[in-house]
Structure 1
Amino acid sequence: MTTPTLDRDRLRELFDLRSSYNELSGGAYQDDPYPLWHRLRERGPILPGTLHELTGCTEPMYFHGLPFPDRPHFTLFDYDTCFAAHRNPEVFASSPTPVDLDNGPLTITNSMLSMDGARHRRYRALVQPSFLSSNGGWWTDNWISETVNLLIDGFVEDGRAELNVDFCAAIPILTITGSFGVPIEQALEVRAALSIDPQKVVDILRPIIAARRAAPKDDLISVLVQAELVDEDGATTRLTDREIDSFVLLLLGAGSGTTWKQMGTTLTALLQRPEVLDAVRHDRSWLRPAIEESVRWMPTDPMFSRWVVSDTELGGVALPAGSVVHMNLGAANRDPARWDRPDEFDITRPIRPNLGFGQGSHICLGMHVARAEMAVAISALLDRLPNLRLDPDAEPPRFVGMYERGATSIPVLFDPA
């Protein structure tokens, strides 16, 4: 791999949470919503309305489960009800309509993400082995470590850097595109096209897919072209181009859209607490608890939605068929019935399962890769940037956003190499 030459202005346009690119998902939201979410939870585990409306945002927003103005909406605020909705896909479905890979739109949502039941299990089983924790070394050795160190090479002699967009945002996109065999110079082109022109993404990947069909390599596209889908009768078939397209769009969107924000959140939380950063620096066994606490304390996408298939009751509230429930994972992860001092970022607290990566059959496919990216990146920063600290003369990082939540710029100083 050569030194990444990513367009930093383009990176900021695509990934800065305050940019126009993120306005429709609440990127302009500047406040800390958690105090209000605590008060809303005290009113009951489930309240009528969308999360952003209940939080005081009047502008229409577009995110998973939104806007659907013709349906009743409910928001879940506590851990138990969010967990229950995650674990019952027969009633709380991932999509309002069945996925049609052959004739449906070429989108991230028209994919395995919106499938449930046996069909979802069959498709997920094809790629699940590549994303298990036991396969973390495959990702680290092939793509993550080299990407991280080459990015640090670009600023290690400067004594200063901006770590959120210039570093955190670049790692996942280079990791996932690298696993597809996409050249570095096309990585941002692929990411930019993902939401506005998915066909362009497919057009870029088609030659790579054809090449891997002819001669597989040790990469993710090769896993997809060699995968065998088992139908309900037990017959096996290779994935069609359209089925591979759906995987490509989903994995690109998920792989480049959340991990960078969680990495930035984790770094910010540590840098704002120098004594905690020092503890992690001197004893790397604290790094995993720091990452897990970050996922609990401030998940990057604090809401996901489900569609109610049949009349049901949850948390003592009647939910009619056709309604949409919005699981407030952020509030659930700070439920005082489950965690003491839930608003504190405390890496010494016992690790308990939380909902930052979801739950149930749709638990985040790439969560172990995300953990590996964060662990390798933060550890490399601590190894290679002595006296790493926030720049006291720059605007300090802040947490912003409604449905995509993360840190603003993270300006740091360190002793140059």
Structure 2
Amino acid sequence: MTMPAALDRARVRKLFDLRGAYLAQVGGGYHGDPYPAWHRLRAEAPVHPGTVHELTGYDGPANFAGLPYPDRPHFSAFSHAACDEAYRDVEVFAASPIPVDPRTGQLTVQNSMLTMGGTPHRRYRALVQPSFVPGRAQWWIRNWIEQTVDLLIDTFAADGRAELNVDFCAAIPVLTITGSFGVTVERALDIRAALRDPQRIIEILEPIVAARRESPRDDLISVLVQAELTDEEGVSHRLSDAEIHSFAVLLLTAGSGTTWKQMGITLTALLERPEVLAAVREDRTRLKPAIEEALRWTPTDPMFSRYVTRDVEFHGVRLPAGSVLHLCIGAANRDPARWDRPDEFDITRRLRPSFAFGGGAHVCLGMHVARAEMRVGIGALLDRLPGLRLDPDAAPPRFIGLYERGATEIPVIFEPEARS
């Protein structure tokens, strides 16, 4: 991987600018702190009529991604108990209004396994999951994550200063995922830029999938083309090209779009608390709880939607069939009924599972890879950049966005490495 020559940093900044591309879609124009409003709403009732952005008081564009049904009744859940129940009851609270069944219709780059339900979803997930279990994290670290992290740090370690959010955090998941596909960096950014052009994405992925079917390698596409599962009826299943294309696009959009923001949130939380950063530097076993606490404290995706399949009484509210229930996991992750002092960032608190990666049958498939990227990335920064701290002469990072939250620039200074 020839990262420094291949990575177009200006293009990466444009593609991953929270204040640009996300503005119209996911509330990128929201610059406030939504948690006081969410605390008030949760204290008033676990479930409210309306969407999360309306109830939060944001009056920006209403055409958010994930809210494509303006004519349906919308409700929002804010308590941990309500979100937990919705995640567990997949029969009443479906992940898609019209789940895709591969027996009657194929997945395409315009939808994904997120739209599947029931047996088809379990079968498809079982085919792709083996590469994403905790035991495979070292495979990702050894083959792609460590090399990507070191090459990125090489580009600024001698400078004594850097902007970590885009130049570091954003690039890690993009290059990790595309590295596992065998896609060049230029092609990776082409895919990111072409997410609304399915044919363009197919043109890039199709020859790679075909080549791996002919000659497998030690990479993710090879694993997917060889995956086979025998179901309870004795029927063998393998992934079609369309299903592999769909899954690849899901990884590129979800994996590269969320992990970098969550890493930036975690780094910001640590850099704003020098004593906590020093404790993590001193004892690296504290890095894992620091990452888990950041996931709970400020998840980058604080809302997911579910679709109500039948009339139901839910935490004191009548939800009609066909309505949309938005799960405000940001509020649920700070529910005082589950966590003491929930607004505090405390890496010493007892670990309890949060909803940062969703829940239920559709819990994030790549969460262990995401954790590995954050652990290796932050650990390498602490190893190689002595005196790492926020740049006192630059504007400090701020959290912005509503349905996708993340940090603005993260300017830092440190003791520079000697140039070789």
What TM-score do you get using the length of structure 1 for normalisation? 0.96
Distance 2:58 2:377 in 1: 35
Alpha-carbon distance in structure 2 between the residues aligned to 1:65 and 1:205:
26
Paired residue for 1:400? Answer: 400
Shift of 1:73: 0.3
Asked if the contact 1:309–1:322 (Cα under 8 Å) also holds between the matched residues in 2, the reply is yes
Q: Distance in 1 between matches of 2:352 and 2:63?
A: 31
Question: How many Å apart are 1:261 and its aligned residue?
Answer: 0.4
The answer for the alignment partner of 2:254 in structure 1 is: 254
The CA deviation string for residues 182-212 of structure 1, in whole angstroms up to 9 with x for no partner, is 0122221111112x21221121111111110
Match of 1:213?
213
1:60, 1:105 → 2: CA distance?
A: 30
Residue 200 of structure 1: aligned partner: 200
Please say if residues 149 and 172 of structure 2, whose CA atoms lie closer than 8 Å, have aligned partners that are also in contact: yes
Q: Provide structure 2 residue ranges, at least 5 long, that are not aligned to the other structure.
A: none
Task: Give the superposition deviation at 1:99.
Answer: 1.4
State the 1:353 CA deviation.
0.7
- Matched with 1:132 is 133
Structure 1 gap segments, 5+ residues each: none
CA displacement, residues 212-235 of structure 1 (integer Å, 9 cap, x when unaligned): 000111111011111125467431
CA distance in 1, matches of 2:342, 2:285: 22
Query: For residue 73 of structure 2, what is the aligned residue in structure 1?
Result: 72
Paired residues, number? 415
CA distance in 2, matches of 1:343, 1:69: 33
**2:315 corresponds to which residue?**
315
Q: Equivalent residue of 1:350, what SS?
A: coil
C-alpha contact (below 8 Å) 1:112/1:247 kept by paired residues: yes
**1:65·1:324 contact (CA, 8 Å) conserved in 2?**
no
Summarize the alignment of residues 313-392 of structure 1 with structure 2, pairs less than 5 Å apart: 313-392=313-392
Distance 1:21-1:298 versus aligned 2 partners, 3 A rule = closer
Match of 2:143 in 1: 142
Distance 1:237 1:125, change over 3 A: closer
Once the two structures are superposed, the pairs formed by residues 13-412 of structure 1 within 5 Å of their partners are 13-63=14-64, 65-99=66-100, 106-108=108-110, 110-194=111-195, 196-230=196-230, 233-412=233-412
| C-alpha distance in 2 between matches for 1:125 and 1:310 | 28
AA paired with 1:8?
Answer: R
Shift of 1:11: 1.1
Quick one: distance in 2 between partners of 1:203 and 1:53?
40
CA distance in 2: counterparts of 1:17 and 1:76, whole angstroms: 26
SS in 2 for 1:157: coil
Q: Which amino acid aligns with 2:220?
A: L
**1:277 aligned counterpart, secondary structure:** helix
> SS where residue 306 of structure 2 aligns?
strand
1:20 Cα deviation (Å)? 3.6
Q: Give CA-to-partner distance per residue, 1:70-124, whole Å, 9 cap, x none.
A: 100000000000010001110000111131668678445x221111111100000
- Alpha-carbon distance in structure 1 between the residues aligned to 2:21 and 2:217: 39
Q: Distance in 2 between matches of 1:285 and 1:119?
A: 39
Identity over aligned pairs, percent? 68
SS of the residue aligned with 2:75? strand
Following the alignment from structure 1 to structure 2, what is the Cα–Cα distance between the partners of residues 176 and 285? 26
Say whether the 8 Å CA contact 1:14–1:21 is kept in structure 2.
no
